[in-house]
């Protein structure tokens, strides 16, 4: 498959939690690759440039400080890796990754604090990034699709609408309905 043929699948494996004023997006994806292989893709700067919506100036697999730049952002932000328990748990800033061996593959779970106005956008963006990651790990890279480019990509509008519905949000990027 090449990039032109890629179309994201339906919204799935996602939920949001609200704790006081804090909103957390939780995404789960089953990958056909070992936790060790997935860990490398989550921590190695060269692999991150191929699929993630950000770049880093060092390896995320080591506790410490580095610079992280989101695609489309004008400046890097200082990022502190607080936990790097290979190949199981990675934590930095407001992000936590868990990798669980499932058969010969990995259940990858992402927890990320997010502004409630952008929950469905964040879910759609990570959904596409996870698809790109799976292609990369399968040896069939299609290239990073992130930031403004993802928003122009075929399937973006559908995904944001599906996640908005899944989360009980009026429209993509808006505030959740009362009680959510």
Q: What is the mean pLDDT of residues 104-126?
A: 95
Q: For residue 172, what pLDDT band results from cuts at 50, 70 and 90?
A: very low
Burial of 9 (0-12, 13-18, 19+ CB in 10 A): exposed
CA distance 126 to 146: 9
Say whether pLDDT at 17 is over 90.
yes
pLDDT at position 18 over 50? yes
User: What's the alpha-carbon Rg for the chain, to the nearest Å?
Assistant: 16
Q: For residue 149, is it left (φ>0), alpha (ψ between -120 and 50) or beta?
A: alpha
How many contiguous H segments (helices) and E segments (strands) does the chain have?
Answer: 5, 8
How does residue 98 score in pLDDT terms, banded at 50, 70 and 90?
very high
Report all structural domains of the chain as residue ranges with CATH numbers, in order of start.
14-167 (3.30.530.20)
**How does DSSP assign 92-145, residue by residue?**
ETTEEEEEEEETTEEEEEEEEE--GGGHHHHHHHHHHHHHHHHHHHTT------
Is the pLDDT reported for residue 38 higher than 80? Answer: yes
pTM over 0.75: yes
Kindly list the distances between the CA atom of residue 106 and the CA atoms of 80, 139, 174, 177, in Å, as whole numbers in the listed order. 25, 17, 32, 34
Q: What distance in Å separates the CA atoms of residue 127 and residue 110, rounded to the nearest whole number?
A: 11
In this prediction, residue 22 carries a pLDDT of 87
The rounded distance, in Å, linking the Cα atoms of 108 and 38 is 8
């Amino acid at each position: 498959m090449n990039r032109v043929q890629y179309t994201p699948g339906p919204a799935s494996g996602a939920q949001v939690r609200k704790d006081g004023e804090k909103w957390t997006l939780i995404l789960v994806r089953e990958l056909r690759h070992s936790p060790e292989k997935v860990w490398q893709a989550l921590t190695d700067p060269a692999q991150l440039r191929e699929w993630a919506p950000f770049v880093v100036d060092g390896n995320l697999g080591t506790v410490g400080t580095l610079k992280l730049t989101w695609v489309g952002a004008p400046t890097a932000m200082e990022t502190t890796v607080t936990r790097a328990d290979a190949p199981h748990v990675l934590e930095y800033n407001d992000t936590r990754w868990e990798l669980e061996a499932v058969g010969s593959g990995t259940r990858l779970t992402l927890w990320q604090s997010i502004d409630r106005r952008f929950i469905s956008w964040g879910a759609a963006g990570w959904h596409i990034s996870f698809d790109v990651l799976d292609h990369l790990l399968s040896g069939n890279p299609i290239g990073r699709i992130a930031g403004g480019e993802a928003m122009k990509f075929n399937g973006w509008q559908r995904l944001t609408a599906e996640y908005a519905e899944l989360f009980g949000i009026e429209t993509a990027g808006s505030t959740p309905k009362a009680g959510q």
